[in-house]
Structure 1
Amino acid sequence: MEWRGRRGSRNVEDRRRMSAGGAGGIGIVGMLVVLAVGYFFGIDISPVVQGLDQGSSQVQTGELSEADQQYGEFSSVVLADTEEVWGQVLPEQAGMDYAAPTLVLFRGAVQSACGEASAAMGPFYCPGDRKLYLDTQFFDVMAQRMGAGGDFAAAYVIAHEVGHHLQNQLGILGKVTQARQQSSERDSNALSVLTELQADCFAGIWAAHASQQFGSIEEGDLEEAQNAARAVGDDVIQSSAGRTPMPDSFTHGSAEERQEWLMRGFRSGDLAQCNTFAEAGL
């Protein structure tokens, strides 16, 4: 992915110099504290990050490393691309203006309007403050622990969280949250999966339009995104923890499903083709 030297977004809030303990000191292998049930749409990567960083509760001081700075610049450019794409696509296809979210970069743990979260929960979106939250060390986890490295794999992660923001703006998240609160655990999980797969599809739409508008996607980039979608499938994560995959417990979808819906969005470029709920008969 060609991103260096391109415009970055102004909607980035960098908290990586702050103390990770400022969110309760829960650290990278801590657990999520949810104040608004159903509002977090992160990936529980604790099975693959155990022991990765036992010092993340320490106060971060000094300047960011060169790698940290590059991660920040990269994330800003990808966010800017999503702003331009959805600033055109949403009015054309949904008849509404796009309200861009803020991307919060953090390290170890963070406080959001939805509660406190650790980096072990992966990137997430909070509807309460309309912000995306990303510990940029997750990109290292993807490459080193999940076998899903590469710029476009990382871009897919950001685009997926932006997909949740779109769902919030379209009124989908509120309906899903209400339905999950009134459902059995099994049905609630199924609704969560449909929500995640739709966000994957939206990420595919972004990739298709970004390729056309910016010409930034290079050979092999799409394969990186597909590999990332596979790596964050519930069956793959459960297997990595030494457990037998249990579909009824899935909350994000299998590797095959995540890849399928990502590609559906990429091939169609059409929001109407991403209605996972209608396809499930809801």
Structure 2
Amino acid sequence: MRLRGVRSSRNIEDRRGRASAGGKAGGLGVVGVLLVLAIGYFTGVDVSPLLEGDGTRPVEQSAPREISAEEQRAAEFTSRVLATTEDVWAAIFPAQVRRDYEPPRLVLYSGVTRSPCGSASGATGPFYCPADEKAYLDTDFFTTMSRQLGAKGDFAAAYVIAHEVAHHVQNELGILGEVNAYRQRVSQREANAATVRLELQADCLSGVWARSVKGLLEPGDIDEAVNAARKIGDDYLQKRAGRVPQPHTFTHGTSEQRSRWFQVGYRSGKIADCDTFRADRL
């Protein structure tokens, strides 16, 4: 992705290098250890479990530390990608939904931090918290993506940032609130199904963003994003864990679904075409 000359976002809250206060980490136990890899390092923590977080696991206190050169480069990359999302959605909202777009802030942290949705650590990875309209990102996650998950390339990382911003887009449109309210009154199976549609819509909205930054793309960038989407499909992760995929436990969609909905958004460029909640086929 060509980011030279792209401005840096001012909507960055840098908490890296600070001492981490003790607290409670909640929420991830609801979705299970199996999906932590996908949720933590690619698409963020499921919104509803975070809001419902049980807060039973203590978070250890850590001392301040210096920020490495690699972390600083990751932060600069993140800031520029975030700026592209601000420009894209600021143009799309008035044209497609007839309203202005208010961008989220992105919190950079290392180790452990707090949010109104619960405490975050390297295990939770990037996530969006609708309570304060901020995305949270541990700067180590880019390395994990490339080395442990096999999702290499800068555009794979950019896709993940765009996915978290897409959850903010959903929040701006009132979708997150509706889905969370629905989840609270239905069975776990039905709640999981709704969350799958939510996540696939965020993948599609990430594709809408990608179409709008085509001028910044390099050969192979879209392939990097599609590969990342495939690596985080629920079916792929369950197979990787040595289990038979169980669709009723899915919370993010299959590899095929995730990559396909990203491409739907990329081909269309329209928010309306990302309505996974009315789609007959996911």
TM-score bracket for the superposition, by shorter chain length:
0.7 to 0.9
Distance 1:264 1:136 in 2: 29
Please point out which of 36, 53, 56 is paired with 1:44. 36
Q: Which runs of 5+ in 1 are unaligned?
A: 27-31, 50-55
Contact 2:39 2:125 in 1 (8 A): no
Distance 1:232 1:226 in 2: 10
Distance 1:271 1:100 in 2: 16
- Match of residue 63 from structure 2: 59
- Match of residue 122 from structure 1: 125
Return the letter of the residue paired with 2:113.
Answer: V
Structure 2 CA distance for partners of 1:109 and 1:239, relative to 1, 3 Å: farther
- Match of residue 33 from structure 1: 26
1:84-95 equivalences in 2 (<5 Å): 84-95=87-98
Contact 1:204 1:269 in 2 (8 A): yes
Q: Which 10-residue stretch deviates more, 232-241 or 189-198?
A: 232-241
Distance 1:208 1:113 in 2: 33
1:232 aligns with 2:232: yes
Distance 1:191 1:141 in 2: 28
Distance 1:118 1:131 in 2: 15
Return the letter of the residue paired with 1:33.
Answer: G
Distance 1:278 1:133 in 2: 29
Shift of 1:12: 0.5
Contact 1:23 1:116 in 2 (8 A): no
Q: Which runs of 5+ in 2 are unaligned?
A: 42-59
Please point out which of 135, 158, 161 is paired with 1:158. 161
- Match of residue 279 from structure 1: 279
Structure 2 CA distance for partners of 1:203 and 1:78, relative to 1, 3 Å: same
- Match of residue 262 from structure 1: 262
Contact 1:111 1:117 in 2 (8 A): yes
Return the letter of the residue paired with 2:21.
Answer: G
- Match of residue 144 from structure 1: 147
Shift of 1:47: 10
Contact 2:40 2:125 in 1 (8 A): no
Contact 1:23 1:110 in 2 (8 A): no
Contact 1:48 1:145 in 2 (8 A): no
Structure 2 CA distance for partners of 1:23 and 1:110, relative to 1, 3 Å: farther
Give the length in aligned residue pairs. Answer: 259
Contact 1:230 1:256 in 2 (8 A): yes
Please point out which of 76, 80, 83 is paired with 1:80. 83
Shift of 1:138: 1.1
- Match of residue 174 from structure 1: 177
Shift of 1:113: 1.2
Q: Percent identity?
A: 51
Shift of 1:66: 1.1
Structure 2 CA distance for partners of 1:174 and 1:68, relative to 1, 3 Å: same
Structure 2 CA distance for partners of 1:116 and 1:48, relative to 1, 3 Å: closer
Per-residue Cα deviation, 1:63-89 (whole angstroms, up to 9, x for no partner)? x11111110000000000000000000
- Match of residue 185 from structure 1: 188
Contact 1:163 1:199 in 2 (8 A): yes
Per-residue Cα deviation, 1:199-251 (whole angstroms, up to 9, x for no partner)? 0000000000111xxx1101000000001111111122222322222111011
Structure 2 CA distance for partners of 1:23 and 1:90, relative to 1, 3 Å: farther
- Match of residue 17 from structure 1: 17
Distance 1:76 1:172 in 2: 26
- Match of residue 103 from structure 1: 106
Q: Which 10-residue stretch deviates more, 233-242 or 7-16?
A: 233-242
Per-residue Cα deviation, 1:89-148 (whole angstroms, up to 9, x for no partner)? 011001110001000111222200111122212311000000001112111111011100
- Match of residue 200 from structure 2: 197
Distance 1:162 1:238 in 2: 26
1:206 aligns with 2:198: no
- Match of residue 29 from structure 1: none
Return the letter of the residue paired with 2:212.
Answer: H
Return the letter of the residue paired with 2:26.
Answer: V
TM-score scaled to structure 1, two decimals? 0.86
- Match of residue 51 from structure 2: none
